[in-house]
Chains A and B, each alone.
Chain A
Amino acid sequence: MVNKQDFKRIDRYVWELPRESRPDMRVPARLFADEELFDAAFGDRTAEQLVNTATLPGIVRYALAMPDFHQGYGFPIGGVAAMDAASGVISPGGVGYDINCGVRLLASHLDREEVAPYLQELTSALYQSCPSGVGGKGRVRVSERELDELTVQGSAWVLKRGLARAEDIAHTEEGGQLPGADPRQVSSRAKERGRPQVGSLGAGNHFLEIDVVEEIYDPDVATAFGLRRGQVVVQIHCGSRGFGHQVCDDYVKSLQGAVRKYGISLVDRELVCAPIDSPEGRAYYGAMACAVNYAFVNRQILAMGVREAFERVLAGKVRNVDLFQVYDVAHNIAKFEEHEVGGKRKRLCVHRKGATRAFGPGRPEVPESYRHVGQPVLVPGSMGTASYVLVGTQTAMEISWGSTCHGAGRVLSRHAAIRQVGGAELRRELEESGIVVRAGSDKGLAEEAPSAYKDVSQVVEVVHGAGLARKVARLRPLAVIKG
Chain B
Amino acid sequence: MGFEEIPHTADRALRCWGQDLGELFVQAAQGMVWLLIGPVTPLPTVEAQIELSAIDAETLLVSWLSELLYLYERDGTLFTAFELEEISPTHLRARVRGAPIDQLQQQIKAVTFNELTIHPRERGLETTIVFDV
Do A96 and B132 have beta carbons less than 8 Å apart? yes
A413–B7 contact, CB under 8 A? Answer: yes
- Residue among B55, B56, B113 making CB contact with A252, cutoff 8 Å: B113
Q: Quick check: B115 and A72 within 8 Å, CB to CB? A: no
**Distance of A294 Cα from B19 Cα, bound (Å):** 43
Name the interface residues of A417-472: CB closer than 8 Å to any CB of B.
440-441, 443-444
Set of chain A residues within 8 Å of B105, measured between Cβ atoms? 441, 443
Q: What distance in Å separates the Cβ of A219 from its nearest Cβ neighbour in chain B?
A: 36
In the assembled complex, the Cα of A426 lies from the Cα of B117 at a distance in Å of: 38
Q: Chain A residues near B112: list those with CB within 8 A.
A: 73-74, 97, 252, 270
- How many Å from the CB of A75 to the closest CB on chain B? 10
- Pick the residue among A46, A245, A268 that contacts B115 (CB under 8 A): A268
Given A253-B63, A413-B9, decide whether A192 and B74 contact each other with a Cβ distance below 8 A: yes
Q: Which residues of B contact A51 (CB under 8 A)?
A: none
Cα distance A410–B56 when bound, in Å?
A: 33
Q: Is B116 touching A410 in the complex (CB atoms < 8 A)?
A: no
Contact with B along A55-83 (1 / 0, CB 8 A): 00000000000000011111001000000
Secondary structure class of chain B's binding surface, majority of residues: loop
Give chain B residues whose Cβ lies under 8 Å from the Cβ of A189.
70
In Å, the complex CA distance between A443 and B55 comes to: 38
Residues of B near A98 (CB, < 8 A) are 109, 132
Q: A97-B132, A134-B107, A189-B70 are in contact. Are A415 and B7 (CB under 8 A)?
A: yes
A248 within 8 Å of B (CB atoms): yes
Interface range, B side: 35 or more
Interface residues of A in 256-272 (CB under 8 A from B): 256-257, 268-270, 272
Using a Cβ–Cβ cut-off of 8 Å, how many residues does chain A contribute to the interface with B? 45
Q: Are A269 and B8 in contact (CB under 8 A)?
A: no
- In the complex, whether A242 has a CB less than 8 A from a CB of chain B is yes
Tell me whether B110 is interfacial, beta carbon within 8 Å. yes
- Interface check B43, CB cutoff 8 A: no
Are A270 and B116 also in contact (CB < 8 A) when A242-B73, A257-B55 are? Answer: yes
Give every chain B residue within 8 A of A440 (Cβ-Cβ). Answer: 103
- A203 interface residue (CB < 8 Å to B): yes
- Contact call B107/A203, Cβ cutoff below 8 A: yes
Does B87 touch A at the CB level, under 8 Å?
A: no
Q: B10 interface residue, CB < 8 Å from A? A: yes
A73-B132, A268-B114, A269-B115 known; A414+B12 contact, CB < 8 A: yes
The residue in chain B whose Cβ has the minimal distance to the Cβ of A134 is B107
Proximity string of chain A (235-250) to chain B, C-beta cutoff 8 Å, 1 when within and 0 when not:
0000000100100110
CB of A70 within 8 A of CB of B10, answer yes
Alpha-carbon distance A252/B113, docked complex (angstroms): 8
A411: B residues at CB distance < 8 A:
9
Considering the complex, give the chain B residue whose CB is closest to the CB of A46.
B9
- Among B63, B110, B116, point to the contact of A97 (Cβ < 8 A): B110
Report whether B58 and A412 are in contact in the complex, using a CB–CB cutoff of 8 Å: no
With A134-B103, A268-B115 already in contact, the answer to whether A256 and B10 are too (CB < 8 A) is no
**Within 8 Å of chain B (Cβ to Cβ): is A193?**
yes
- The CA of A412 and the CA of B11, in the complex, are separated in Å by 10
Q: Which of A44, A256, A410, A416 has the most CB of B within 10 A?
A: A256
Nearest A residue to B130 via CB reads A73
Contact B9 A441 (CB under 8 A): no
Q: Looking at the complex, which one of A203, A253, A410, A444 makes contact with B62 (CB distance below 8 Å)?
A: A253
Q: Inside 8 A of B133's CB, which chain A residues have their CB?
A: 204, 414
Query: Are B59 and A256 closer than 8 Å at their CB atoms?
Result: yes
Whether B110 contacts A248 by the Cβ 8 Å rule is yes
CB within 8 Å for A413 and B8 given contacts A97-B132, A441-B103 = yes
CB distance from A204 to the nearest CB of B (A): 5
Is there a chain B Cβ closer than 8 Å to A179's Cβ? no
How many angstroms from the CA of A344 to the CA of B12 in the assembled complex?
43
Q: How far is the CB of A405 from chain B (nearest CB, A)?
A: 15
B19-47 Cβ-contact flags toward A at 8 Å (1 or 0): 00000000000000000000000000000
B109 near A245: Cβ-Cβ < 8 Å: yes
Picked from A193, A253, A268, A413, the residue with its CB within 8 Å of the CB of B10 is: A413
Q: Please state if A71 and B73 are interface contacts (CB–CB under 8 Å).
A: no
Q: How far is the CA of A269 from the CA of B103 in the complex (A)?
A: 32
Contact status B9-A70, CB under 8 Å: yes
Q: Which of B8, B54, B109 has the most CB of A within 10 A?
A: B109
Closest-CB distance, A353 to chain B (whole angstroms): 12
Q: How far is the CB of A395 from chain B (nearest CB, A)?
A: 28
How close is B122's CB to chain A, nearest CB, in angstroms? 24
Q: Let me know if B114 and A270 touch, CB within 8 A.
A: yes
Q: Tell me, in angstroms, the Cα distance from A415 to B115 when the chains sit together.
A: 20
16 A-B pairs whose Cβ atoms sit less than 8 Å apart in the complex: A73-B113, A73-B132, A74-B114, A93-B113, A97-B109, A135-B72, A135-B73, A242-B73, A252-B112, A269-B113, A412-B9, A413-B8, A416-B7, A440-B103, A441-B103, A443-B105
6 closest cross-chain pairs (CB), A and B: A73-B114, A269-B113, A73-B112, A71-B9, A97-B110, A203-B107
Starting from the known contacts A98-B109, A134-B103, 5 additional A-B residue pairs (CB-CB under 8 Å) come to A193-B74, A203-B107, A252-B113, A269-B58, A413-B7
